[in-house]
């Protein structure tokens, strides 16, 4: 139900006592609205407390393994409560990696989309805040009209005349029950969601670039290992042929065939590795916002990477304030809380005060003279009476949505803690695995050298040599994969900790500024 109270008056007559009383009544309504607008219906959101969890795992995780040889053999240890640098990938001291991430932050299209979404959300906050201010509109018009006396029951032609008008009107809704404020609160929370999603996109991007760079280095190392194994197979084949030619091998056919079979098998390992390398290179180009034909990644090599020894681990109570996915879930919970206030306020009356003034005249020369001056001042009340239960249902839906958002928030926190726990355990196991792979590789290498020497002296069979070669092959590839996995899990830890995007020196702050204006789609042609 809508109830309107207004006063329309010409300016010509003098102002009477009733006019003054009416003006005072409108002023009283406005002041009462301002006084009541200090409160807003619905729950006031409070940041959820951090879970009472002091550690990520049931038992403390340490990296006890002694340092191993090779590029990933550093002795690592966790540093609880240590800060994470904004450009955390610099810990690897790889210049090519640093420059690649710089290009990715500048040109990645997913990041550009998230940045644009943030700009849209912030603009929608400004739209919602417009309800805090009076709405003022102006109007002007000129028309030529023909009046007929038939409208008043007389059969006579009427005059033809011109009508000129100009004026303005002002309306201001009194936010007594907090509908506008809760709407602004909801939009602000949604903007916070988009900002957290931008931070998450930035963190995911930098983590993926590091992961793909390590993947490329690992695949290149495996290809190099396979090439080395093929050379070993060729040496073994040449050795067996020499033994057969010298008559030192009793059954020459099967043993020679076994050596040739080993060489043929190892040659089949290369194509799949090259395919994986191509996929990794193309994926990295995509992260940089380029087609595979437009850009080629550097030749990443583990020799150019330094494994960090100190691994910062944030406290669980700190992690919930720094992980972008948790912050996005918290902001979504805030928006759901504000929607309850919106649905509650819509159950109550809405009061709007307004004023209008205009000049009207039959001639343009006399448009702004006192006889044509009109003004009005009034207030209107909209009271919901019957909506078929829709408004109450909207409130119940908002409450249910809030409960769902609360469950989603808790699930996001638990998933974050689980991810950190997995990475901590993985780093401990990676160190143990690398140590074991180093030992296995050294042992297999010695066995291969011994079997080759013994075959030359006639003390070993060809089958024993080929078996030693297979053991060396498995140990060599296992070692390379263990090195890559240790680098990967180290990077995963920094991503799981939030990546330091909140630090002032982080490139995120430059990436987080929404671009203004509109541009046509442009395709990068950078080689």
CB-CB contact of 307 with 74 (8 Å): yes
Model pLDDT for residues 484-522, shown as the tens digit of each residue: 999 999 999 999 999 999 998 899 988 887 766 666 676
Model pLDDT for residues 234-283, shown as the tens digit of each residue: 887 887 787 777 765 554 667 778 888 888 988 999 999 999 999 999 99
* 223, two tokens: 């290809």
Q: What are phi and psi for residue 184, nearest 5 degrees?
A: -65, -40
Q: What are phi and psi for residue 4, nearest 5 degrees?
A: -120, 135
Q: Tell me the average pLDDT across 102-120.
A: 95
**226 vs 262: CA distance, rounded Å:** 12
Interacting residues of 17 by C-beta distance below 8 A, sequence separation 6+: none
Is pLDDT of 346 > 90? yes
Model pLDDT for residues 190-205, shown as the tens digit of each residue: 999 999 999 999 999 9
CB-CB contact of 380 with 4 (8 Å): yes
> Most confidently modeled of 2-6, 370-374, 474-478?
474-478
For the chain, domains (ranges, CATH) are 44-136+176-348+387-511 (1.20.1600.10)
**413 vs 326: CA distance, rounded Å:** 6
H/E element, 141: strand 135-146
Q: What is the pLDDT of residue 26?
A: 46
* 471, two tokens: 């053991």
Return the higher-pLDDT residue of 67 and 351: 351
Q: Tell me the average pLDDT across 153-176.
A: 84
Is pLDDT of 7 > 50? no
Q: Tell me the average pLDDT across 324-335.
A: 97
Q: What is the pLDDT of residue 332?
A: 97
**363 vs 237: CA distance, rounded Å:** 111
Model pLDDT for residues 53-102, shown as the tens digit of each residue: 889 999 988 887 766 767 788 889 999 999 999 999 999 999 999 999 99
Q: Tell me the average pLDDT across 116-141.
A: 94
Q: What is the pLDDT of residue 213?
A: 98
Is pLDDT of 134 > 90? yes
3-state secondary structure of 440: helix
Is pLDDT of 185 > 70? yes
Strand partners, 344: none
Looking at every residue in the chain, the average pLDDT score rounds to 86
3-state secondary structure of 162: strand
Residue 153 pLDDT level (bands cut at 50, 70, 90): low
Residue 10 pLDDT level (bands cut at 50, 70, 90): very low
Is pLDDT of 461 > 70? no
Dihedral of alpha carbons 290, 292, 296, 298, sign: positive
Model pLDDT for residues 410-420, shown as the tens digit of each residue: 999 999 999 99
Q: What are phi and psi for residue 524, nearest 5 degrees?
A: -70, 140
Give the strand order in the sheet containing 160-174.
2-10, 373-382, 350-361, 160-174, 135-146
Q: What is the pLDDT of residue 57?
A: 92
Q: What is the pLDDT of residue 505?
A: 86
Is pLDDT of 445 > 60? yes
Residue 456 pLDDT level (bands cut at 50, 70, 90): low
Q: How many CB atoms lie within 10 A of CB 477?
A: 19
For 350-414, give the secondary structure using H, E and C.
EEEEEEEEEEEECCHHHCCCHHHEEEEEEEEEECCCCCCCHHHHHHHHHHHHHHHHHHHHHHHHH
Q: Of 3, 38, 93, 66, which is closest to residue 490 (Cα–Cα)?
A: 93
**E strands present in 297-349:** 310-313
* 281, two tokens: 């290179």
Model pLDDT for residues 24-36, shown as the tens digit of each residue: 554 444 455 554 4
Q: What are phi and psi for residue 252, nearest 5 degrees?
A: -75, -40
Residue holding tokens 């541009």? 519
**511 vs 503: CA distance, rounded Å:** 13
pTM over 0.95, yes/no: no
Q: What is the pLDDT of residue 421?
A: 96
């Amino acid at each position: 139900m809508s109830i309107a109270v207004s006063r329309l008056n010409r300016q010509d007559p003098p102002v009477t006592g009733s006019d003054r009383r009416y003006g005072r009544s409108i002023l009283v309504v406005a002041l009462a609205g301002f006084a009541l607008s200090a409160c807003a219906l619905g729950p006031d959101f409070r940041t959820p407390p951090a879970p009472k969890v002091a550690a990520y795992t049931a038992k403390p995780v340490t990296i006890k393994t002694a340092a191993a040889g090779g590029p990933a053999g550093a002795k690592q240890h966790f540093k609880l409560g240590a800060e994470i640098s904004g450009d955390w990938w610099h810990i690897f001291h790889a210049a090519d990696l640093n420059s690649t991430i710089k290009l990715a932050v500048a040109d990645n299209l997913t990041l550009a989309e998230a940045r644009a979404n943030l700009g849209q959300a912030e603009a929608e906050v400004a739209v919602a805040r417009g309800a805090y201010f009076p709405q003022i509109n102006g109007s002007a018009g000129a028309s030529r009209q023909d009046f007929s006396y038939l409208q008043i029951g007389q059969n006579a032609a009427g005059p033809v005349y011109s009508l000129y008008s100009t004026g303005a009107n002002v309306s201001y809704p009194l936010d007594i029950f907090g509908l506008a404020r809760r709407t602004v609160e909801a939009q602000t929370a949604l903007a916070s969601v988009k900002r957290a999603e931008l931070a998450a996109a930035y963190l995911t991007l930098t983590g993926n670039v590091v992961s793909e760079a390590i993947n490329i280095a690992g695949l290149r190392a495996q290809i190099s290992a396979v090439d080395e194994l093929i050379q070993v197979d060729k040496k073994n084949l040449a050795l067996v042929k020499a033994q057969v030619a010298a008559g030192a091998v009793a059954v020459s056919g099967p043993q020679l065939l076994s050596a040739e079979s080993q060489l043929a098998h190892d040659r089949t390992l290369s194509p799949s590795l090259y395919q994986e390398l191509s996929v990794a290179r193309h994926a990295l180009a995509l992260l940089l916002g380029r087609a595979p034909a437009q850009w080629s990644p550097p030749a990443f090599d583990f020799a150019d990477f330094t494994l960090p020894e100190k691994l910062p681990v944030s406290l669980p109570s700190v992690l919930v304030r720094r992980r972008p996915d948790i912050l996005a879930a918290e902001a979504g919970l805030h928006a759901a809380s504000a929607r309850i206030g919106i649905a509650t306020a819509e159950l109550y009356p809405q009061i709007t005060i307004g004023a209008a003034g205009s000049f009207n005249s039959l001639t343009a020369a006399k448009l702004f003279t006192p006889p044509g001056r009109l003004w009005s001042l009034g207030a209107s009340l909209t009271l919901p009476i019957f909506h078929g239960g829709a408004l109450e249902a909207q409130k119940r839906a908002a409450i249910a949505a809030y409960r769902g958002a609360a469950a989603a928030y808790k699930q996001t926190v638990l998933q974050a803690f689980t991810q950190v726990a997995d990475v901590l355990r993985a780093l401990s196991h990676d160190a143990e695995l690398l140590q074991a792979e180093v030992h296995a590789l050294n042992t297999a290498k010695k066995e291969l050298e011994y079997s080759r020497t013994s075959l030359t002296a006639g003390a070993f069979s060809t089958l024993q040599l080929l078996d030693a070669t297979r053991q060396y092959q498995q140990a060599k590839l296992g070692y390379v994969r263990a090195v890559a996995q240790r680098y990967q899990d180290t990077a995963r830890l920094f991503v799981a900790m939030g990546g330091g995007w909140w630090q002032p020196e982080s490139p995120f702050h430059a990436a987080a500024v929404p671009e203004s204006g509109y541009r046509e789609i442009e395709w990068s042609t950078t080689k």
